[in-house]
């Protein structure tokens, strides 16, 4: 037995614990929720990212500028590009976010971010931490909020995925103990579980939802999932009017395809990795990850993004202009609601539904067989200006 390897692993583990205990202090002493109504100007940064990112970000920014034209004029809102969050720059400095870019991101209250390339072991890029994950950790964006709606099938879900812990917290810091054994760590904290569960229940109570479902694998992953679940039921007691129940991730994955049962789910709260997987599955019912937006919410900052990757192959094959900007524009609609313009967010959502799901005068296929992202965005902006947008949306909804 290699005793020295065990000692090295223990020391490594000790250092990880020290860092996490410091993080706990920060989480517990973090300032409360920012109030956008009191802020002028609200600073919005747009990040292009990698691959198709800059192409779809350009379209999303165009929509955002249109929606906020009055607020930009009055000085309530400022919209700016944040450059440099590219895989080339990240590889050059061997960091998931170059320091100058991170400083720039922190100067903005909220960011709208294009997809970024996430390297893995064996890729041509160095195996640095995912930039998405690093931004979430750096800005303490503890809630990943992902709505999925398919009105024709009665699906109206909203996922509250914990966003800073679980296997993601220590993802890049596993131990290669010796040539046989590799170990990664999974972390769930009480403050971390509490704040995501509370946000889910708050959402339910403010939006007339009657049920919150927690998803774990607490029968097997006893310590961490056990804690998450225990805290879920403790927070649930503060919301006696809302039904609280829990499912295991395996059967939950199956139930989402059960047409008779799935429409009963409403608000779903779950640890990070289960949330990552389940929200891709859920988005598929709505038309795929290309149709889903995602909000990364913290008390001070927020970042909005598509839930898909940077599709480098589309760029290599010269098809980037055919990439669908809908997911990023959906993220923009969540941004609008989050910073205090819920009506604008809702209009944008209705226009996206009309253009992408019902009317489909232009369809983006990702290839020259379909419309370009720019043409689709023109169509969307035309639809947004329609005087009877809401009636059109409601009539489609009724079928
Ligand atoms: C997501 C993505 C990221 C994640 C990747 C790119 C690291 O899949 O936002 O769901 O795993 O969180
Ligand atoms: Mg994912």
Q: What is the DSSP letter of 365?
A: -
72 Cα–ligand 2 center, Å: 33
277 Cα–ligand 2 center, Å: 6
Average pLDDT over the chain reads 95
Could you state, in order of their start, the residue ranges of all structural domains in the chain? 32-141+298-399, 146-290
Task: Give the C-alpha separation, 151 to 276, whole Å.
Answer: 23
Question: Do the Cβ atoms of 110 and 74 come closer than 8 Å?
Answer: no
Strand partners, 82: 47
Name the pairing type of β-strands 243-248 and 267-270: unpaired
Q: Which residue puts its alpha carbon closest to atom 10 of ligand 1?
A: 276
Residue 253 above 80 pLDDT? yes
User: Residues lining ligand 1, judged by CB closer than 6 Å?
Assistant: 118, 130, 132-133, 276, 307
The SS3 assignment for 44 reads strand
Q: Could you tell me the CATH superfamily of domain 146-290?
A: Isopropylmalate Dehydrogenase (3.40.718.10)
pLDDT tens digit string along 227-243? 999 999 999 999 999 99
pLDDT at site 398:
80
**pTM, rounded to two decimals:** 0.94
The minimum-distance atom of ligand 1 relative to the CA of 136 is 12
pLDDT tens digit string along 215-227? 999 999 999 999 9
pLDDT tens digit string along 123-140? 888 989 899 999 999 999
C-alpha pair distances (Å), 29 with each of 23, 35, 190, 200, 228: 10, 18, 14, 21, 21
C-alpha pair distances (Å), 144 with each of 119, 229, 272, 298: 21, 18, 9, 9
Question: Do the Cβ atoms of 165 and 127 come closer than 8 Å?
Answer: no
289 Cα–ligand 2 center, Å: 9
Q: Which residue puts its alpha carbon closest to atom 3 of ligand 1?
A: 132
- The secondary structure element, H or E, covering residue 315 is helix 312-316
Cis ω for the linkage preceding 348 (within 30 of 0): no
The minimum-distance atom of ligand 1 relative to the CA of 309 is 6
Task: Give the C-alpha separation, 42 to 303, whole Å.
Answer: 14
pLDDT at site 175:
95
Ligand 1, residues 51, 90, 114, 130: which to mutate, most atoms within 8 A of Cβ? Answer: 130
Residue 290 above 90 pLDDT? no
Q: Could you tell me the CATH superfamily of domain 32-141+298-399?
A: Isopropylmalate Dehydrogenase (3.40.718.10)
Q: State residue 212 phi and psi, 5-degree precision.
A: -125, 130
83 Cα–ligand 1 center, Å: 21
Question: Do the Cβ atoms of 271 and 229 come closer than 8 Å?
Answer: no
C-alpha pair distances (Å), 357 with each of 320, 360, 363: 22, 6, 10
Name the pairing type of β-strands 243-248 and 211-216: parallel
396 Cα–ligand 1 center, Å: 32
Q: Considering only residues 257 and 290, tell me which one the structure prediction assigns the higher pLDDT.
A: 257
The minimum-distance atom of ligand 1 relative to the CA of 280 is 10
Strand partners, 214: 246, 269
The minimum-distance atom of ligand 1 relative to the CA of 144 is 9
290 Cα–ligand 1 center, Å: 14
Q: Does this chain's domain 32-141+298-399 share its CATH topology with 146-290? A: yes
Band of the pLDDT at 292, cuts 50, 70, 90? confident
**What is the crossing angle of helices 373-384 and 53-67, to 10°?**
20
**What would the DSSP string read from start to end of 45-64?**
EEE--STTHHHHHHHHHHHH
pLDDT tens digit string along 59-108? 999 999 999 999 999 999 999 999 999 999 999 999 999 999 999 999 99
Task: Give the C-alpha separation, 253 to 268, whole Å.
Answer: 12
Q: Which residue puts its alpha carbon closest to atom 6 of ligand 1?
A: 118
Q: What is the DSSP letter of 148?
A: E
């Amino acid at each position: 037995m290699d005793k020295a390897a065990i000692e090295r692993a223990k020391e490594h583990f000790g250092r990880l614990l020290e860092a996490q205990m410091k993080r706990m202090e920060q989480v517990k002493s973090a300032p409360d929720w920012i109030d956008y109504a009191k802020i002028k100007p609200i600073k919005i940064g747009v990040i292009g990212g990698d691959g198709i990112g800059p192409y779809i970000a350009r379209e999303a920014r165009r929509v955002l500028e249109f929606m906020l034209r009055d607020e930009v004029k009055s000085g309530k809102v400022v919209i700016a590009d944040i450059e440099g969050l590219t895989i080339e720059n990240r590889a050059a400095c061997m960091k998931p976010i170059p320091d100058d870019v991170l400083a720039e991101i922190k100067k903005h209250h909220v960011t709208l971010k294009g997809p970024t390339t996430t390297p893995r072991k064996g890729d041509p890029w160095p195996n640095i931490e995912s930039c998405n994950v690093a931004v979430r950790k750096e800005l303490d964006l503890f809630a990943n909020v992902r709505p999925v709606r398919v009105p024709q099938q009665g699906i109206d879900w909203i996922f509250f995925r914990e966003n800073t812990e679980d296997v993601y917290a220590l993802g890049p810091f596993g131990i290669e103990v010796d040539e046989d054994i590799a170990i990664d760590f999974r972390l769930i904290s009480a403050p971390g579980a509490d704040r995501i569960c509370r946000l889910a229940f708050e959402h339910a109570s403010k939006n007339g939802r009657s049920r919150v479902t927690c998803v774990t694998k607490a029968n097997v992953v006893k310590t961490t999932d056990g804690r998450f679940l225990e805290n879920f039921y403790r927070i649930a007691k503060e919301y006696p009017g809302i039904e609280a129940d829990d499912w295991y991730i395996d059967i939950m994955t199956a139930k989402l395809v059960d047409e008779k049962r799935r429409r009963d789910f409403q608000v779903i709260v779950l640890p990070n990795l289960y949330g990552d997987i389940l929200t891709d599955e859920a988005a598929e019912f709505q038309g795929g990850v290309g149709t889903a937006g995602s909000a990364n919410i913290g008390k001070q900052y927020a970042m909005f993004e598509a839930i898909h990757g940077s599709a480098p192959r589309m760029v290599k094959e010269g098809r980037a202009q055919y990439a669908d900007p809908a997911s990023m524009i959906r993220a923009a609609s969540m941004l609008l609601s989050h910073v205090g313009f819920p009506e604008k967010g809702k209009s944008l959502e209705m226009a996206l539904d009309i253009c992408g799901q019902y009317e489909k005068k232009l369809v983006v296929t990702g290839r020259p067989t379909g419309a370009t992202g720019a043409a689709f965005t023109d169509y969307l902006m035309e639809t947004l200006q329609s005087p009877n947008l809401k009636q059109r949306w409601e009539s489609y909804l009724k079928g």
